[in-house]
Structure 1
Amino acid sequence: MLDLALSILSSTWIFVVFKLYDVYKVQTLVAIIINYITACLTGFFLYQGPVAMGEIMSTSWVWGPFAMGILFITIFNLMAKTAQTSGVSVASVATKMSLVIPVIIGLIFYGEHLTFLQAIGILLALAAVYFASLKEKGITINRKDLILPLLVFLGSGAIDASIKYFEEKHLTDQEIPIFSSMVFGCAALSGLIYIGVGSKKQTLKINFKNVMGGIALGIPNYFSIYFLIRALRNNTWSSAAVFTLNNVAIVMLSTLLGILLFKERLSIKNWGGVVLAIISIVLVALF
């Protein structure tokens, strides 16, 4: 329970930092790369034991961080393009609705079971994500732009499903810090390659503001994954329940923090989403 709560708090802080990027005019792309480097170094710092690359390269999970690192940076850019073409609400809904992918995979491949009330809770969670994310007048997507939110949906679901797969099949408790660290390290490497390819399109500034923005994002970003993996190892809830509680609680908490810290105004639909989120959390957690 504590691990899940810490993962939710870490993930919610990420949204707060992104909001502060607008306030302080932080260059997002530079901060994102520094964020991944910071997250990688955080994991190496927390890893208890010698970091022997030979031993790491011989593990069964070594290929995972490379694949997930590429996926991380790719989905980030797809989310940005989705927000630009179809709106922030579409990008948010596509990202959080992807919780259905690890839920379905858990039920089919890992033999997990849901009670009737938990299933109802998951359906309510999807509705909660949709309504709480409606920060604009509505969600409209042109057919030609449909591919972007679909890719965000599939990619975000693939990330969560991958985390569950490696937690279930490959990782020991001692390997969680180094695995998480390598995921972010590979994401940083992918980002640097992306910058090298696209740097002609914009001027990148390595200054104090951008560096601090990356560090402020990188530490909670690392712990959001670290504590999520630890929560999945707990036998109290199935992975379906963990992913549902994690995603819905993040949406609810980030929405409420938006009101308190940034004076955001919610519509009736937004408040309905918050209420549905609370109900879904109660159903999934207690039943």
Structure 2
Amino acid sequence: MLDLALSVLFSSLIFVIFKLFKVYKIETLYAIITNYVVACVVGLLFYNGELSVVEVLGKPWFPGTLLLGFLFIAVFNLMAATAQKVGVSVASVATKMSLVIPVLFGVLVYKEALGPWKIVGVLLALAAVYFASVKPRPVDFKNTSLFLPLLVFLGSGLIDTSIKYVQEVYIEEREFSLFSATVFASAALMGILFVLLRSYRTPIRMNLRNALGGVALGVPNYFSIYFLLRALQNQELNSASVFTINNVAIVMFSTLLGILLFKEHLSVKNWSGIALAIVSIVLVALF
């Protein structure tokens, strides 16, 4: 459970850092690319085996890192835009509502058992995610703020499902650091290529502030994935339980951080969502 708690902590910090990007006028794209370079370096530092590019290219999980790298750079930019334009809690919720996708994948593909109390817990988790984030102002259906969370939802669900599949089928525990570093290297490369391709229209504006923002983001980003991979090795919890607890706890914790750090206002529905989150975590963890 310690691995799961650490994954929640570092994932929640990501949303806070995204919010700070707007405060300190950090350009998100450049910071995100730098973050992936930093996360890759951290992963390589924690890897104890011998490093060989040829060996990495021959790993059975290498093709999966290319897909994950693309998804990471795309979804991270969407998460940042959602956090800045709609709010930290909405970005967190859009990301964590996606727990439905890997949970269904685990049940349908790996035949993971969900007892009646766990099913109740998952349903309460979805309700908790919604109520913890719902805003008092009406939603403008013509605004892109509705489209952004939807894309984050789909992309995040695909990332979690892909991580579970690769972890289940291909990765040994001793390769977690190397796998994570390779995914981040792939994301960084795709981000750099994107910046270079658009440089003929938009000049590259990398500076120290953007780099420091990327460093601040890269360290918790690496550990959020590393500890999630470790948590998925837990023999007492199946992947449906891990993703449910992880995602709901992140919503709850990041929402509370939004209150403490950014004075975000919570309605009665928001507090009800936090209460439901606690109940859902207890049900999924104990049953």
Structure 1 residue 136: deviation in Å? Answer: 5.2
TM-score, reference length from structure 1: 0.92
Contact 2:28 2:80 survives alignment (8 Å): no
Q: 1:84 to 1:278 in 2, by over 3 A?
A: closer
Contact 2:43/2:178 (<8 A) preserved: yes
CA 1:147–1:20: 2 relative to 1, 3 Å: closer
Change (3 A) 1:83 1:38: closer
After TM superposition, the structure 1 = structure 2 runs for residues 114-133 of structure 1, keeping only pairs within 5 Å, are 114-133=114-133
SS class of match (2:232): helix
Q: Which residue of 1 is the match for residue 61 of structure 2?
A: 61
Distance 1:14 1:84, change over 3 A: closer
1:39 aligns with 2:44: no
- Residues 18 and 84, structure 2, Cα contact 8 Å, conserved in 1: no
Q: Any conservation in 2 of the 1:90–1:139 contact (CA below 8 Å)?
A: no
Show the counterpart of 2:75. 75
Give unmatched runs, 5+ long, in structure 1: none
Q: Using the alignment, how far apart are the partners of 1:137 and 1:144 within structure 2?
A: 15
- Where structure 2 has 5 or more consecutive residues not aligned to the other structure, the ranges are none
1:53: Cα distance to partner? 1.4
- 1:199 and 1:158, CA in 2 relative to 1: closer, same or farther beyond 3 A? same
Amino acid at match of 1:229: L
Question: AA paired with 1:283?
Answer: L
Give the TM-score of the pair, scaled to structure 2: 0.92
Taking a change above 3 Å as real, the CA distance of residues 144 and 74 of structure 1, as seen in their structure-2 partners, is: closer
Deviations 1:4-63 (A, max 9, x none): 011000101111211221222212111111001000111011000110112211211111
Within 2, Cα distance between the matches of 1:135 and 1:19?
Answer: 17
Query: Identity of counterpart residues, as a percentage?
Result: 58
Matches of 1:196 and 1:40, distance apart in 2: 20
1:7 aligns with 2:20: no
Mapped to 2, the partners of 1:227 and 1:189 lie a distance apart of: 24
150-159 vs 226-235, which deviates more?
Answer: 150-159
Equivalent residue letter for 2:251? V
Q: RMSD across aligned C-alpha pairs, in angstroms? A: 2.2
1:137 deviates by: 1.4
For 1:140 and 1:129, the matched residues in 2 are separated by 20
Residue correspondences, number: 286
Quick one: structure 1 residues 261 and 92, their matched pair in 2 at CA, closer, same or farther if it must change by over 3 Å?
closer
